[in-house]
């Protein structure tokens, strides 16, 4: 990724001993992504909302998130045509990890932006190619089609991508689009640190964790399940997963953290 001198020097200023070092380094990745034309201004703000929830969750992958990751892995292994939607934040935060996940589960990548811009799309495609992506969907205007239920450019998807998919992974997605994907009959898996967001509440499987931690965990879990689990067992994992219950567990995790921090438990 091309990196501006100012953001490079800033990340080297963060001492490893800083209590928020990890979070600050992730933030710098996003700022560098913004400077490189990958991330929209709104994407910076979305990260801020995510960070606040990450703080409340304890900045680690909890038990509920691990269960959601397992269900997501099972769902992806049973999918006929899985697609992973890539936006600017994902391209800036974890391009290599998302490509490795796609390879592991035999999914295709589609660049799909909320704040559409051809320039930003090109920058995202470039970073994905630099990180080893071969086939990238969502970039050929001849293959563009519309998903009903959302307005304007935000409904444009690739005919051979999200439009044709049975299972769609939409990390850091907007609520309206998640709902449109569900209405179009897709099974939706999302990564979203806010268990209260519309996306979290609408998706079939919500992984309430930071993408910077959870994408690798999902790949590892998919590899593990693929090696030793038959289709019936995979289906059982999915059937036993309840997204509403899982979201409640995440909310309780936040509540317990707050209770502990308030010194009242």
Query: What's the sign of the alpha-carbon dihedral 55, 59, 61, 63?
Result: negative
- Kindly state the tokens that stand for 128: 């994905």
- What mask, x for binding ligand ATP by CB under 6 A, covers residues 41 to 80? -----xx-xx--x---------------------------
| CB neighbourhood size of 173 (10 A) | 26
Nearer to ligand ATP, 133 or 208 (CB): 208
Of residues 218, 219, 186, the one with CA closest to residue 203: 186
Looking at the DSSP bridge assignments, the partners of residue 190 are 206
Partner interacting with residue 203 (select from ligand ATP, Mg ion, none; CB below 5-8 Å by kind): none
d(CA 239, CA 243): 11
For residue 210, the partner it binds in ligand ATP, Mg ion, none, with Cβ less than 5 to 8 A by kind, is: ligand ATP
CB-CB neighbours of 167 under 10 Å: 23
Distance of CA 244 to the CA centre of its chain: 19
Tokens standing for residue 260: 């502990």
Q: CB-wise, 34 or 191, nearer to ligand ATP?
A: 191
Mark the segment that binds ligand ATP (CB under 6 A) among 9-17, 67-75, 179-187, 189-197. Answer: 189-197
Cβ atoms within 10 Å of 174's Cβ, excluding its own: 18
**Please, which of residues 147-186 interact with ligand ATP by CB under 6 A?**
172, 174-175
How many residues lie near ligand ATP (CB under 6 A)?
18
Of the candidate residues 22, 66, 126, 198, the single one contacting ligand ATP (CB under 6 A): 198
Stretch that binds ligand ATP, among 65-73, 99-107, 197-205, 253-261 (CB under 6 A): 197-205
- Quick note: the x/- pattern for Mg ion over 170-189, rule CB under 5 A, is ----x---------------
Contact stretch for Mg ion (CB under 5 A) within 49-57, 112-120, 169-177, 255-263: 169-177
Per DSSP bridges, beta strands 167-169 and 144-146 are unpaired
Rg (CA), the chain: 18
Contact residues: ligand ATP, CB under 6 A: 46-47, 49-50, 53, 172, 174-175, 191-194, 197-199, 210-212
């Amino acid at each position: 990724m091309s990196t501006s001198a100012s953001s490079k020097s800033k990340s080297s200023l963060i001492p490893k001993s800083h209590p928020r070092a990890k979070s600050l380094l992730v933030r710098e990745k996003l700022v560098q992504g913004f400077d490189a034309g990958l991330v929209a201004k709104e994407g910076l703000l979305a990260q801020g909302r995510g960070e606040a929830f990450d703080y409340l969750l304890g900045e680690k992958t909890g038990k509920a998130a691990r269960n959601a990751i397992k269900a997501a892995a099972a769902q992806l292994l049973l999918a006929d045509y899985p697609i992973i939607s890539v936006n600017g934040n994902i391209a800036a935060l974890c391009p290599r990890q998302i490509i490795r996940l796609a390879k592991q589960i035999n999914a295709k990548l589609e660049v799909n932006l909320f704040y559409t811009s051809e320039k930003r799309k090109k920058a995202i495609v470039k970073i994905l190619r630099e990180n080893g992506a071969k086939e990238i969907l969502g970039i050929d205007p001849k293959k563009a089609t519309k998903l009903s239920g959302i307005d304007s450019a935000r409904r444009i998807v690739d005919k051979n991508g999200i439009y044709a998919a049975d299972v769609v992974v939409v990390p850091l997605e907007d609520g309206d689009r998640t709902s449109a994907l569900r209405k179009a009959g897709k099974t939706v898996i999302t990564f979203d640190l806010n268990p209260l967001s519309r996306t979290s509440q609408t998706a079939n499987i919500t992984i309430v964790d930071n993408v910077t931690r959870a994408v690798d965990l999902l790949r590892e879990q998919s590899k593990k399940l693929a090696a030793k689990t038959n289709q019936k067992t995979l289906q059982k994992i999915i059937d036993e997963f309840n997204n509403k219950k899982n979201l409640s567990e995440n909310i309780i995790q936040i509540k317990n953290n707050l209770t502990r921090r308030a010194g009242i438990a």
